[in-house]
């Protein structure tokens, strides 16, 4: 197990410190560390063949005070022979590649990569929708022209998206050549064939009503949110880490619970991980999550947030923790002032 991180000065957007540590049962082992303000750096020379130590020193020296770039990124670019001849350095590549496995679901992004729905399997999407009781009974993919896709889209947004589509379809290094667009109420899947993009809009039917198709913009916010989450449940990609902010947004509490339980069953079969933030206290159930899977975030008087693990409280495994959390036992709950009651002015009538 390893811990990688860096400290960032937000106002100046500068990296102050960066480190990679191997976590041991008794003592941690520092693989590399640097401080850009002092120029101090250290590294584990045992990872290198002797003839490469001096060269590695030069790399670290070159970047020791560079504040706009991580060493992890720098040491991975255009240094194939270094990694080929020093097999123990594979840990740097493993950590670097781990970040490429992140699938971050942003709330309002007009275009995101997708691996799970690239199969364009309407039946699979319909089956997933059915388990969430949305009322959607049919899903179809309808071919649509590029001009129709961008109809009504601002020029700067369109230009940026078209450049990204061209990049995805022409760069052979990209394993998953697919995008999902959410524009003007349309959900459009973009796939590539012979270097050219193909566009298909996703349409939905409800309650088996024939010939009445709805675009994404005509669906409820909850249905739109479920569609975002389906990228997790129907993924075919291994070694993925999904990061979802405010997973409960626009969802009924039971749907949020249902999604998490579905994911946990799926994770028994596939090597995937889910990291979420939520205000849904119903998830504080030790029958659903382990103690070491729960973290709280608490804001102090300066506005800074601290993350701390639940398992430090050493609670019983059968304890019902939701009420204790809401009562403030574990922290991470807002401290509220008395009710705001504006002064009432009454006209006196004699």
Provide the percentage of residues in the chain whose pLDDT is more than 70: 90
Average pLDDT over every residue of 271-281: 91
**What was the pLDDT predicted at 1?**
87
DSSP 214: B
- For the record, the structure tokens of 192 come out as 């590539």
Position 333 pLDDT exceeds 70: yes
DSSP state of 237: -
Backbone angles phi, psi at 285, to 5 degrees: -140, 115
pLDDT at 108: 62
Structure tokens that stand for 239 in this block = 């070694």
pLDDT per position as a tens digit, 77-93: 888 889 899 999 999 99
Task: Report, as an integer, the average pLDDT of 43-49.
Answer: 91
Letter string b/e over residues 69-100, b meaning 16 or more CB atoms within 10 A of that residue's CB: ebbbeebbeebeebeeebeebeebeebbeeee
- Regarding predicted confidence, which is higher, 203 or 334? 203
pLDDT of residue 118: 46
pLDDT band at 16 (very low <50, low <70, confident <90, very high): very high
């Amino acid at each position: 197990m390893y811990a990688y991180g860096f400290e960032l000065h937000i106002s100046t957007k500068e990296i102050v410190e960066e480190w990679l540590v191997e976590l041991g049962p008794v003592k941690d082992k520092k693989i590399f560390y640097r401080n850009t303000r002092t120029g101090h750096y250290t590294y584990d020379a045992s990872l290198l063949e002797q003839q490469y130590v001096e060269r590695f020193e030069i790399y670290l020296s070159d970047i020791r005070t560079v504040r706009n770039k991580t060493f992890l990124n720098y040491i991975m670019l255009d240094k194939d022979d270094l990694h080929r001849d020093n097999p123990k350095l594979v840990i740097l590549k493993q950590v670097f590649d781990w970040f490429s496995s992140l699938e971050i679901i942003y709330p309002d992004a007009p275009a995101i990569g997708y691996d799970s729905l690239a199969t364009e399997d309407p039946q699979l999407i319909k089956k997933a929708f059915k388990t969430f009781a949305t009322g959607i009974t049919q899903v179809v993919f309808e071919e649509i022209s590029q001009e129709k896709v961008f109809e009504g889209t601002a020029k700067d947004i369109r230009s940026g998206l078209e450049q990204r589509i061209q990049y995805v379809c022409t760069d052979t290094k990209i394993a998953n050549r697919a995008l999902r667009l959410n524009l003007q109420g349309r959900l459009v899947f973009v796939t590539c064939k012979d270097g050219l993009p193909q566009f298909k809009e996703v349409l939905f039917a409800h309650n088996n009503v024939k010939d009445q198709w709805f675009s994404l913009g005509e669906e409820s916010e909850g249905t739109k949110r479920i569609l975002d989450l389906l990228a997790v449940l129907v993924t075919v990609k291994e070694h993925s880490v999904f990061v979802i902010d405010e997973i409960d947004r626009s969802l009924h509490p039971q749907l949020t619970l249902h999604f998490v339980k579905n994911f946990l069953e799926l994770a028994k079969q596939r090597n995937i991980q889910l990291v979420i933030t939520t205000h849904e206290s119903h998830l504080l159930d030790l029958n659903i999550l382990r103690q070491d899977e729960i973290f709280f975030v608490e804001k102090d008087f300066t506005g800074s947030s601290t993350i701390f693990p639940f398992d430090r409280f050493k609670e019983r495994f059968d304890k019902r923790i939701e009420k204790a959390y809401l009562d403030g036992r574990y922290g991470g709950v807002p401290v509220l002032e008395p009710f705001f009651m504006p002064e009432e002015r009454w006209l006196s009538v004699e």
